[in-house]
Amino acid sequence: MDIRQCYNDSRLRVDWSDKRMWFSVASIIFNPTFWNIVARKEYRSKFITRLFNGNSLYGCYALAATIFTLGLIRDAIFKHAIDNQPKAECMNILPIQVLAWLCLIVGNLFVLSSMWVLGVTGTYLGDYFGILMDERVTSFPFNVNNNPMYNGTVMIFLGTALWSLSPAGIYLTCIVHFVYRIALKFEGPFTTMIYNKRDQERSAAKAPSAPKNVKKNAKSGTKKEL
């Protein structure tokens, strides 16, 4: 059976009446929605920083731990959902299983290497806490992928779905990809605004102060500053 026939036979084998599928969809949508709302509120009001007595680093670590935990919960719900969905046995062929492993390996490489390069604060929205990086990261994996964290995560979801022979997992992976694309529409411009503001403040601080106007008093020979 070829890949096209496998798809035609399997695409409708998704039980959307299973509440576990909808729990998975909800967790996929919730996570980026949560961290974008919370991070923007932190940027504007510093409400997390205030909870840690003004220590923005501790606040960032707390949000990082929360986001990481939510990610683990999302992944567990996803796996539980697809394990209870119909399987596409026709996907149990060498090319698809090799593709699954490639997705898992490359996806994890992108995610882990970007976390290593960015560190905790760079990965988990430290810029919203005022913890900014000195310059844009251009080393691997950012030299081959503009959004390695998000794209790597999508690849991990796809690899898991293929390895599990799960058409439902493929549908959920598409939702992950779609949700991340929307998140980037909000995160990208906002992050750019934060760094542009920092650069403008640096430029203003480095700019030489305007010289004071000096007027000579013709009668006394003294000078007055205006």
Binding-site residue set:
105-107, 187-188
Binding-site residue set for S-adenosyl-L-methionine: 105-107, 187-188
Please state, in angstroms and rounded to a whole number, the distance separating the CA atoms of residues 180 and 10.
26
Please state, in angstroms and rounded to a whole number, the distance separating the CA atoms of residues 186 and 67.
17
Residue with tokens 């932190």: 42
Provide long-range contacts, Cβ within 8 A and 24+ apart, for 146-152: 147/180, 147/184, 148/110, 148/111, 148/113, 148/114, 149/110, 149/111, 149/114, 149/115, 149/123, 150/180, 150/183, 150/184, 151/107, 151/110, 152/106, 152/107, 152/108, 152/109, 152/110, 152/111, 152/114
Strand partners, 198: none
* Token duo for residue 36: 């974008």
Residue 127: closest CA among 211, 33, 64, 181 = 64
* Token duo for residue 181: 């694309």
